[in-house]
Amino acid sequence: MMNTFPKETAFLVLSDGTLIEGKAFGFRGTVFGELVFNTGITGYEEVLTDPSYFGQLITFTYPELGNTGVNFQDQESDSPSAKGVISRRFSAKASNWRSKKTFENWLKDEQVVGIWDIDTRALVRLLRSSGTMNAAISSDGLDSPSGLLEKIRKQPLMTGLNLTTEVTTKKPYKWDLCSSVEFDKRLINNQNIPFKVVAIDFGIKRSILDRLVSHGCEVQVLPADASYSDVMDYEPEGVFFSNGPGDPAAVKEGISLAKQLIETKNLPMFGICLGHQILGLALGCKTFKLPYGHRGLNHPCGKNGQIEITSQNHGFALDVSSVDQQIIDITHINLNDGTVAGMAMCNRPVFGIQYHPEASPGPHDADHHFARFVELMSERRLKVV
């Protein structure tokens, strides 16, 4: 039996004037955001609910979405952070034993605007040559393409935007859950006394919290604007700086916090993605915007013959020329473009990685970074005792 697709016209308009006509799915409306692409062949539910995608329109290079529906267990946050979805095709039906809702109905309920039946390969080639840019998806017929273009050009650029305030928790909370997947459960209770970790939420993913718990951590999550005293009130044995959206250089409070902690405490500190960039900025490095970012499940990173296949989602990176290698050791390089993918302080238990080690494209290539964080806290605990 053939799938039935909606036939209403939708438009994708780019800030360079490119106009692409397609068909509408999901919520009917008009949304503006930075147009990016993701190269993963699975995980659309995790991608759309990752807070690091806040304010963006995501082009999926995999040609069909929606086949497995939506199950809610795989969500990285309560609701989608991305504003829009761009696909070659989508399945109006779901076929998976875990599915609780069709992809189409989920997008409608969450007010995420979609456009399909477009040449996503050509669109990605355009973004790779011209770079990410602001765009709009419109499926409600209220604006003409020329009117949309005028509005797009008034939208702020991603550079200079602190979007962590849009996605961070409003109040502190404790996280003590982990995934039901056996791999995620097997490390629980590997410590008689859990390590007390404060996690700074710049847009943290649930699966990252799950892995910290699975590695024996008791996690207290604090908002992005947490102060030094807020953190130290919990007497942490380690501090974690999370992933998140926007320009890392604009997250002034997070950079200030990291700098204070590095200067005054010898606490183990671990940063992922935006958190990695914030640690770098606190150590005097500079960041820059990548032409089209790293977003996918297949990015090789490593050094000295040791390679990890990694999951990534970011549009900024540390400038390698700004790294003081007397203070910082570059531990991982992105093998696709040579950008900094991992770093560690030479004389402090502080390190960060540009990718998301809780994901499993390798299938578990990068999980050892959580173990390293725990090992550093264990060494500190022995010294304190």
Rounded to 10 degrees, the C-alpha dihedral 70/80/337/130 comes to: 110
Q: How is residue 384 written in tokens?
A: 């304190």
Is 81 in contact with 51 (CB distance < 8 Å)? yes
Query: Which strands form 269-272's sheet, in the order they lie side by side?
Result: 173-175, 217-222, 195-200, 238-241, 269-272, 350-353, 340-345, 328-334, 287-303, 306-318
Q: Which amino acid is at 132?
A: T
Is 245 in contact with 167 (CB distance < 8 Å)? yes
Is 313 in contact with 356 (CB distance < 8 Å)? yes
Is 77 in contact with 48 (CB distance < 8 Å)? no
CA 310 – CA 293 distance, rounded (Å)? 14
178, 273, 285, 301: which one is catalytic?
A: 273
Helix (H, G, I), strand (E, B), or coil: what is residue 225?
coil
34, 104, 308, 358: which one is catalytic?
A: 358
Q: How is residue 346 written in tokens?
A: 């030479």
Residue in this structure with the two tokens 């990068």, named with its chain if needed: 366
276, 299, 314, 356: which one is catalytic?
A: 356
Q: What is the DSSP letter of 3?
A: P
Instruction: Clarify whether 273 is annotated catalytic.
Output: yes
CA 313 – CA 294 distance, rounded (Å)? 6
Going by C-alpha positions, the residue among 96, 43, 89 that lies closest to residue 68 is: 96
Catalytic center residues:
273, 356, 358
